[in-house]
Amino acid sequence: MRHGFLLRWALVAALVGISAAARAEAETRPIDTEHSTLTVFVYKSGLFSAFADNHVISAPIASGSIAEGAPLGIELVVRSANLRVLDPNLSPERRAEVQARMLGAEVLDVTRFSDITFASTAIDPAGADRWKVAGRLTIHGQTRVITFSVVQLNGKYRGEVLIKQRDFGIEPIKVAGGTVKVKDELKIQFEIVAPG
């Protein structure tokens, strides 16, 4: 008798679990990669930083998903080789040099580390249309936990996060014996558009 009860209970539990999993999967939708943006800001430092350049880099989102119902979640993938140095004030030749160096073995090493990924581990409400997000960011084959704030405005999830290159095994570029270099800290700004 007890065996039959346990069997029925296990069956009900399994069905509830399958239903919850299906419901969670149904609530996870691909983000609008065409209208979502991710921009990286790289800043100069050093004794002769006046002769160096700040850089603005576009990081197109290759794919991603968002769950706006419980449990909240987001995942993003950026192809390292698709990052583009924008820097409108640089000559085309100089911009191409910065681009090549960024993608090369000295920085992103895109032939070895093809993807940059982020997967949230916790998203907590922080007010009306605001959240505190924690998750795992992987760059250059190194994964670190980051936290940042997000606000929803005009249908877009917006925010920014500061990271350090050395945390991901990247040594900030130096030239002229270190008198011109880029800062270890980078700023990443994003606007994520959920599907309508």
Residue 54: pLDDT band with limits 50, 70, 90: confident
Average pLDDT, the chain: 84
Cβ neighbours, 10 Å, residue 75: 17
Q: Model's pTM, two decimal places? A: 0.81
3-class DSSP state of 172: coil
Q: Is the pLDDT of residue 166 over 90?
A: yes
Are the CB atoms for 150 and 158 separated by under 8 Å?
A: yes
Residue 189: pLDDT band with limits 50, 70, 90: very high
In eight-state DSSP terms, residue 70 is: S
Cβ neighbours, 10 Å, residue 178: 12
Exposure class string for 119-134: b at 16+ Cβ within 10 A, else e: bbeebeeeeeeebebe
- Homologous superfamily (CATH) for 31-193: Lipid/polyisoprenoid-binding, YceI-like (2.40.128.110)
C-alpha 60/C-alpha 83 separation (Å) is 7
> CB neighbours of 194 closer than 8 A, spacing ≥ 6?
29, 31, 32, 66, 68, 155, 157
**CA-based nearest residue to 40, from 144, 169, 189:** 189
Q: Is the pLDDT of residue 175 over 90?
A: no
Residue 118: pLDDT band with limits 50, 70, 90: very high
Dihedrals phi, psi of 124, to nearest 5 degrees: -115, 135
Tokens of 41: 């800001």
Q: Is the pLDDT of residue 53 over 90?
A: no
Domain layout of the chain by residue ranges:
1-28, 31-193
